[in-house]
């Protein structure tokens, strides 16, 4: 596909005007009049159930132009019912109720998974439209606080009804993104089947009115959800569940007494599923599948573990629990099925003693001379609705919770502190989709969200004459308003630093990270420059070079939190702050996807403001400081570092010598003695809404007529590739380009897939993670640049650098990003990761490390467009299987997950031996010399192809080698 069209600008054709209009109003992905039964990549549109989402890639709804006005200030909105914190008598901060095992000796925590009333009341103040599911009727679930040498017992009971959904088997197209010709044909057939209607009826036809009939027309091989005995890829079996203890280092296999530990392959079926199987008469369904259980399951998490005949307590930290049954994970967690899991231990006791004089005070009560207490903040961007695919015809199966809830509560709650008071906040980003990444901070002053902007509350007058008004603020003003924060931990692990070769726990003064630097993203508008252009230029400036990237990703007095990340921070109310109000703020990050750039381009090209899509900034709460200063005076938070206990063996930094295979191991593996254990893994894929328009080779279409309307369809007489129902989300466990410069296709999840990482227990490995999800560019004016076979928001794609694409856009705005990518948050179960490097590509594709120093994490974003992450991890203590996956949970449901097998037989390990490994302080070129990075051509093929090895869903997609499109030189 080449382009030899002339340059120049003219009015866009009606086709392009429609695309731009839809892109700017949330309707670029489909001509349908209502949302599909299966949501697009990250859920339904903000417009509601009757507005399909915009073309948004792997990352959910389009980003709006800006959080703040950088040009002329808009007229201020009404203050409304905003509470004046100075006039409130008591704080109204709320947290989930707490359950402790030592308060209920021998008894388990009962987690009953229920389907809420329909329409019914809200399960929490944060959900004016009720969530579909909950634990025991509340959302979030109870907070679990457990000692680090205890046994945590949990009984999960599945009270949900039958899985009714019809599930496709084998190759299946995304009905939202089939071609127009195919849509019309299958819709007429489905409508005729349901209504007996005239197939030549000229009235508009919407396929989403007939989801089950549509499935039978486009894919006659479907099975009811209750009949599926194992995991398949795609959203299915919404009423099957299990439990994952996110962040715990515990045995993943069953316990000797028959209870279970952290095994996400378990499937707890509704009792109705088992009854339906028995009544079916099918011999294959008369027995349960591997890992299947009916109705309920007993979990027993043994937090302490033995090492060299020594009992080791679990390191203390802030973790969480949520369901993890493949196919239903997104919908269940998006519905609020999650809760805090706090492991208490020596770090907590040291801090408590220093601040209160007690080792175990009530964490929710202000204690001691500094009014010390803990607060929990579960920030969940729950804008993306959950879908009960098995609800049946009499129930509403699509729910729209509020944009964001904190501890299930909206609007923002109030905290009261005295001057000098010190608090520890345990913050969890429980968001599930690609728009959930946050920058956590505290702002001086009171701020609110109105009209898709941030405003400062200005109070005037006293007593009965007190009045308040709102002033707009810029991003730069928000940056300058941040107050000091002190970070204790990340992902539930107390920070570790090395001093003179010795590891010790530490506390980080966040005011010092990139202090005195300017964030390119907050640059103000130039004279006479409108807001959209200013924001787009600022966004592009972030990717200019390594310095810009580091200044954009790492800012003073804030913590960058992706999906599933946690942080513990200390906040100290200033001694001179009496009478002042502060805002706890989680600002939506934009640099982790291409959505923001794509939306701004549409707005500039169309001239239509993109106010339809709200920013997902979160005002998590307010702090009002009043009263006399605390008795303890001015506490030095950093002085707590000297009180912290030693770093346990599990959390010592992973040294290079630990990666080296000793001679005895090398004899069994065939590696050279002393070589390092390494492997390279890639994540890749794109969403259906932004899938590029790719003509299918005539020979392939002729050879595979059985795949018409399943893998390929006809548009305007041209055979084109159809977006797959499960998207192209997949993982390549053998992406080592030094060993194989022409890698095999990535693979979707299968529990017993032989293509998996096999690691040796009680050893360490270095893993390099690449993200092949790739932004693509293209012409959007089909009148000037004909694209036979393209349709709706699907355009011919071109592979080029960000810099080249941006140059072309500013020359002629019809040329823009047409396929957008997202960073994939990589989560490894059971063992934490010592993250060495997070390398983001600049506008030319060169990689730059933005991680200031190595740290422990259990979920790390892999930057898109060929970004790279280097981790080291120990596979200590436990033999068995667990998984790694993307924590954009719909990506996981679609197949972006793979099994890790830990063995005690050296001959079974399949790591790649290397003489050299990466260093945290190495130049990026030096790391690329050891672990070659992919070319744009390799990323293109990897991101649009996959193998699904499942027996039921087996397919090789697309089935032919993709030709990498190039834009002809002009």
Alpha-carbon gap, residue 773 to 578, rounded angstroms: 50
DSSP code for 461: S
- Digit-coded pLDDT (tens) for 248-297: 999 999 999 999 999 999 999 999 999 999 999 999 999 999 899 999 99
**For residue 574, how many other CB atoms are within 10 A of its CB?**
17
- Digit-coded pLDDT (tens) for 483-497: 999 999 999 999 999
Question: Phi and psi (nearest 5°) for 261?
Answer: -115, -145
91, pLDDT greater than 90: no
206, pLDDT greater than 90: no
For the segment 509-518, the average pLDDT, to the nearest whole number, is 96
Q: Mean of the per-residue pLDDT values for the chain? A: 86
Handedness of CA 627, 633, 636, 640 (dihedral sign): negative
pLDDT at 433: 84
pLDDT at 159: 97
User: Which one is predicted more confidently, 904 or 334?
Assistant: 904
pLDDT at 407: 73
pLDDT band at 31 (very low <50, low <70, confident <90, very high): very low
pLDDT band at 41 (very low <50, low <70, confident <90, very high): very low
Q: Are 884 and 900 in contact (CB under 8 A)?
A: yes
pLDDT at 671: 92
pLDDT at 190: 63
Handedness of CA 520, 524, 529, 534 (dihedral sign): positive
Q: Are 58 and 820 in contact (CB under 8 A)?
A: yes
pLDDT at 966: 81
For the segment 790-805, the average pLDDT, to the nearest whole number, is 94
Whole-Å CA distances, 900 to 383, 678, 760, 761, 882: 32, 14, 11, 12, 5
pLDDT band at 953 (very low <50, low <70, confident <90, very high): confident
pLDDT at 296: 97
- Digit-coded pLDDT (tens) for 544-560: 999 999 999 999 999 99
For 413, the 3-state DSSP assignment is strand
- Digit-coded pLDDT (tens) for 596-619: 999 999 999 988 765 445 677 888
184, pLDDT greater than 70: no
| DSSP per residue, 879-946 | -EEEEEEESSHHHHHHT-EEEEEEES-GGG---EEES----TTS-HHHHHHHSPPPPHHHHHHHHT-E
pLDDT band at 678 (very low <50, low <70, confident <90, very high): very high
Question: Which of 160-164, 192-196, 599-603 has the least mean pLDDT?
Answer: 192-196
For the segment 862-890, the average pLDDT, to the nearest whole number, is 97
pLDDT at 168: 83
Handedness of CA 615, 620, 625, 631 (dihedral sign): negative
pLDDT at 29: 31
pLDDT band at 66 (very low <50, low <70, confident <90, very high): very low
- Digit-coded pLDDT (tens) for 369-424: 999 999 999 987 544 556 777 766 545 455 544 445 577 666 678 999 999 999 99
- Digit-coded pLDDT (tens) for 756-776: 999 999 999 999 999 999 999
pLDDT at 336: 81
- Digit-coded pLDDT (tens) for 425-438: 999 999 888 888 99
33, pLDDT greater than 80: no
143, pLDDT greater than 50: yes
Q: Are 62 and 42 in contact (CB under 8 A)?
A: no
pLDDT at 202: 57
- Angular region, 434: left φ>0, alpha ψ -120 to 50, beta rest: alpha
pTM metric for this prediction: 0.91
153, pLDDT greater than 80: yes
pLDDT at 186: 65
- Digit-coded pLDDT (tens) for 715-732: 889 999 999 999 999 999
Sequence-ordered list of residues with C-beta below 8 angstroms from that of 811, at least 6 positions apart, any chain = 7
Buried b / exposed e over 733-754, threshold 16 CB at 10 Å, is bbbbbeeeeebeebbbbbbeee
DSSP code for 554: S
| DSSP per residue, 723-783 | PBTTTT-EEES---TTT-SSPPPPB---TT-SSSEEEETT-EEEEEEEE----EEEE--TT
pLDDT at 10: 35
Element (H, E) at 320: strand 317-322
Provide the percentage of residues in the chain whose pLDDT is more than 70.
81
């Amino acid at each position: 596909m080449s382009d030899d069209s002339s340059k120049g600008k003219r009015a866009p054709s009606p086709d392009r005007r429609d695309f731009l209009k839809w892109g700017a109003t949330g309707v670029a992905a489909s001509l349908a009049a209502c949302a599909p039964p299966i949501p697009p990549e990250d859920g339904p549109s903000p417009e509601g159930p009757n507005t399909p989402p915009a073309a948004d890639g792997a990352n959910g709804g389009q980003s709006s132009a800006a959080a703040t006005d950088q040009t002329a200030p808009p007229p201020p909105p009404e203050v409304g019912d905003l509470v004046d914190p100075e006039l409130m008598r008591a704080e109204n901060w709320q947290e989930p109720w707490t359950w402790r095992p030592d308060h209920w000796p021998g008894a388990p925590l009962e987690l009953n998974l229920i389907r809420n009333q329909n329409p019914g009341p809200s399960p929490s103040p944060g959900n004016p439209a009720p969530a579909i599911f909950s634990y025991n009727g509340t959302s979030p679930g109870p907070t679990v606080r457990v000692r680090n040498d205890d046994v945590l017992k949990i009984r999960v009971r599945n009270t949900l009804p039958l899985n009714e959904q019809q599930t496709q088997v084998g190759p299946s197209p995304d009905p939202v993104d089939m071609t127009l010709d195919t849509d019309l044909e299958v819709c007429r057939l489905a409508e005729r089947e349901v209504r007996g209607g005239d197939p030549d009826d000229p009235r508009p036809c919407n396929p989403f009115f007939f989801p089950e009939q549509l499935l039978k027309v486009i894919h006659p091989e479907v099975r009811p959800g209750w009949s599926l005995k194992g995991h398949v890829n795609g959203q299915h079996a919404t009423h099957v569940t299990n439990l994952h203890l996110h962040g715990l280092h515990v045995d993943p296999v069953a316990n000797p007494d028959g209870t279970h530990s952290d095994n996400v392959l378990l499937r707890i079926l509704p009792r109705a599923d088992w009854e339906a199987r028995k009544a079916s008469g099918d011999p294959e369904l008369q027995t349960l599948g591997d890992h299947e259980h009916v109705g309920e399951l007993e979990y027993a998490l043994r937090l302490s573990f033995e090492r060299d005949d020594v009992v080791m307590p679990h390191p203390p930290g802030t973790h969480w629990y949520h369901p993890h049954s493949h196919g239903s994970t997104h919908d269940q967690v998006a519905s609020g099925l999650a809760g805090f899991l706090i492991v208490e231990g020596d770090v907590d006791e040291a801090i408590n003693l220093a601040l209160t004089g007690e080792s175990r005070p009530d964490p929710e009560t202000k204690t001691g001379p500094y009014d010390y207490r803990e607060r929990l903040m579960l920030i969940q961007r729950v804008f993306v609705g959950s879908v009960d695919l098995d609800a049946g015809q009499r129930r509403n199966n699509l729910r729209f919770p509020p944009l964001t809830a904190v501890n299930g509560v909206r609007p923002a709650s109030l905290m009261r502190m005295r001057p000098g008071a010190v608090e520890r906040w345990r913050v969890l980003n429980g968001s599930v989709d690609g728009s959930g990444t946050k920058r956590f901070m505290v702002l001086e002053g009171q701020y609110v969200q109105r009209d898709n902007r941030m405003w400062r509350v200005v109070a005037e007058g006293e007593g009965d004459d007190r009045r308040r008004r709102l002033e707009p603020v810029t991003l730069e003003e928000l940056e300058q308003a941040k107050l000091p924060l002190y970070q204790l931990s990340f992902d539930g692990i107390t920070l570790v630093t090395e001093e003179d070769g010795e590891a010790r726990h530490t506390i980080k003064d966040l005011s010092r990270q990139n202090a005195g630097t300017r964030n390119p993203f907050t640059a103000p508008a130039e004279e006479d420059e409108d807001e959209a252009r200013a924001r787009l230029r600022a966004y592009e400036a972030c990717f200019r070079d390594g310095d810009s990237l580091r200044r954009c990703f790492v800012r003073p007095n804030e913590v960058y939190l992706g999906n599933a990340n946690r942080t513990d921070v200390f906040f100290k109310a200033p001694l001179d702050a009496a009478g002042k109000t502060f805002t706890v703020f989680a600002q939506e990050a934009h640099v982790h996807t291409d959505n923001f750039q794509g939306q701004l381009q549409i707005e500039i090209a169309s001239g239509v403001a993109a106010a339809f899509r709200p920013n997902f900034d979160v005002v998590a709460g307010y702090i009002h400081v009043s009263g006399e200063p605390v008795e303890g005076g001015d506490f030095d938070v950093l002085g707590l570092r000297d009180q912290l206990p030693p770093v346990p063996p599990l959390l010592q930094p992973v040294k290079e010598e630990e990666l080296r295979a000793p001679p005895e191991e090398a004899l069994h593996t065939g590696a050279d003695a002393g070589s390092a254990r390494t492997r390279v893994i890639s994540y890749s894929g794109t969403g259906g809404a932004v899938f590029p328009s790719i003509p299918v080779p005539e020979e392939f279409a002729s050879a595979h007529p059985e795949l018409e309307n399943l893998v390929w369809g006809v548009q305007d007489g041209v055979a084109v590739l159809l977006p797959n129902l499960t998207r192209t989300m997949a993982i390549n466990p053998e992406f080592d380009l030094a060993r194989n410069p022409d890698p095999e296709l990535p693979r979707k999840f299968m529990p017993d897939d032989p293509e998996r990482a096999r690691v040796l227990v009680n050893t360490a490995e270095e893993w390099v993670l690449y993200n092949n999800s790739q932004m693509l560019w293209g012409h959007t004016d089909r009148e000037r640049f004909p694209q036979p076979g393209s349709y709706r928001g699907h355009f011919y794609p071109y592979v080029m650098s960000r810099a080249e694409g941006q140059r072309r856009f500013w020359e002629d705005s019809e040329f823009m990003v047409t396929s957008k990518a997202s960073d994939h948050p990589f989560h490894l179960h059971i063992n934490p990761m010592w993250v060495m490097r997070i390398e983001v590509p600049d506008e030319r594709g060169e990689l730059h490390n933005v991680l200031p120093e190595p740290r422990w994490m259990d979920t790390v974003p892999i930057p898109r467009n060929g970004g790279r992450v280097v981790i080291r991890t120990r596979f200590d203590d436990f033999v068995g299987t667990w998984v790694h996956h993307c924590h954009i949970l719909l990506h996981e449901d679609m197949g972006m997950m793979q099994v890790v097998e830990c063995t005690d037989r050296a001959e079974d390990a399949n790591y790649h031996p290397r003489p050299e490994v990466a260093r945290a302080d190495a130049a990026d070129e030096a790391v690329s010399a050891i672990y070659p990075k992919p070319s744009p051509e390799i990323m293109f093929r990897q991101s649009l192809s996959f193998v699904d090895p499942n027996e039921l869903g087996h397919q090789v997609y697309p089935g032919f080698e993709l030709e990498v499109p190039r834009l002809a030189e002009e």
